[in-house]
């Protein structure tokens, strides 16, 4: 065999070995994936979601004993869980689903929220215990509040009393003041983000998913400059305009929240989002006492009929 033939034979053998090696790697990868899928099915086997519920991610199902789904938002599902590593403590676990918001920097937002909340320790702010990163997602581990959002009262056709409104002002106002003292702006104050447990007489400010520190450059990377974030009915005029915000924006949103809870009416209404946002900038607000008086008069007329 000539040197050229020997070289060609060596190249052929190397190619065959490479092909065998590649096939072995593919088989190993397929076996690993099958094992992962088997493990995921085993983790979810004990959990039976109710109709309309979303099963937890396999990572959350393996890490916690999932009891039930508490709620879901734009990019996460919250579950009531027991944590075996904390002696069976009952917790709320926010299971982050990046696939629910494709194109958004979900992981960065969530980690940012968790890091902010871990630094805040106030009786009026939901406590975050841990932030977990998984290969395909993440989760925020929080204290569980056995209560409902304050907008549940309005949704049930009830207005809160002035005394209860004063309590919200004191307790959530103090929580908001504490966050502001620590440089945190919430940016999404609304009735849905205030939980109240009638059973335990506890009120908490929740969902800091849009929060940021004053002047935090992280915000530049997570949203485009001038991008409007928040909930239209409760956004400040500055927030609507996409301007740089400080704590005064939260105070405006908190006022809009109390207005709605006390009167049963939003301070601005519109046929679409753009109409609502425009009114936030320009509409003259009707005093809440006037709304309450009209509502009482309407109730009296209805009763007389």
In angstroms, the CA 144 to CA 147 distance is 9
Q: Is 188 a catalytic residue?
A: yes
In angstroms, the CA 47 to CA 95 distance is 15
Angle at 220 between CA 217 and CA 226, to 5 degrees: 130
Whether residue 253 contacts residue 234, with contact meaning beta carbons closer than 8 Å, is answered with: yes
Of residues 21, 65, 121, 188, which has the active-site annotation?
188
User: Judging by DSSP bridges, how do beta strands 89-96 and 76-83 pair with one another?
Assistant: antiparallel
Phi, psi of 99 (to 5 degrees): -65, -15
In angstroms, the CA 38 to CA 144 distance is 31
Whether residue 237 contacts residue 243, with contact meaning beta carbons closer than 8 Å, is answered with: no
What are the residue numbers of the active site? 188
């Amino acid at each position: 065999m000539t040197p050229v033939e020997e070289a060609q034979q060596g190249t052929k053998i190397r190619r065959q070995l490479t092909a065998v090696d590649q096939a072995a790697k593919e088989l190993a990868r397929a076996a690993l994936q099958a094992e992962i899928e088997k493990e995921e099915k085993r983790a979810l086997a004990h959990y039976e979601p109710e109709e309309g519920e979303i099963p937890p991610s396999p990572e959350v199902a393996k890490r916690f004993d999932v009891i039930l789904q508490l709620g879901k938002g734009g990019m996460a599902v919250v579950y009531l869980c027991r944590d075996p590593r904390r002696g069976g403590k009952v917790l709320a676990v926010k299971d982050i689903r990046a696939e629910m918001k494709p194109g958004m920097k979900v992981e960065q937002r969530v980690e940012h929220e968790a890091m902010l909340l871990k630094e805040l320790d106030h009786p009026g702010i939901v406590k975050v215990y841990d932030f977990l990163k998984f290969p395909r997602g993440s989760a925020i581990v929080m204290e569980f509040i056995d209560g409902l959002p304050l907008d549940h009262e309005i949704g049930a056709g009830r207005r809160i009393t002035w005394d209860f409104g004063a309590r919200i002002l004191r307790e959530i106002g103090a929580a908001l003041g504490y966050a502001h003292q620590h440089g945190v702006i919430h940016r999404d104050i609304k009735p849905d983000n205030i939980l109240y447990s009638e059973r335990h007489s506890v009120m908490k400010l929740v969902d800091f998913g849009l929060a940021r520190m004053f002047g935090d450059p992280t915000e530049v990377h997570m949203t485009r400059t001038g991008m409007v974030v928040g909930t239209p009915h409760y956004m400040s005029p500055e927030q609507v305009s996409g301007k740089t915000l400080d704590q005064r924006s939260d105070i405006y949103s908190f006022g809009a929240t109390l207005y709605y809870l006390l009167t049963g009416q939003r301070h601005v209404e519109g046929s679409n989002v753009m109409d609502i946002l425009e009114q936030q900038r320009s509409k003259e607000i009707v005093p809440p006492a006037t709304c309450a008086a009209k509502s009482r008069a309407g109730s009296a007329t209805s009763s007389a009929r």
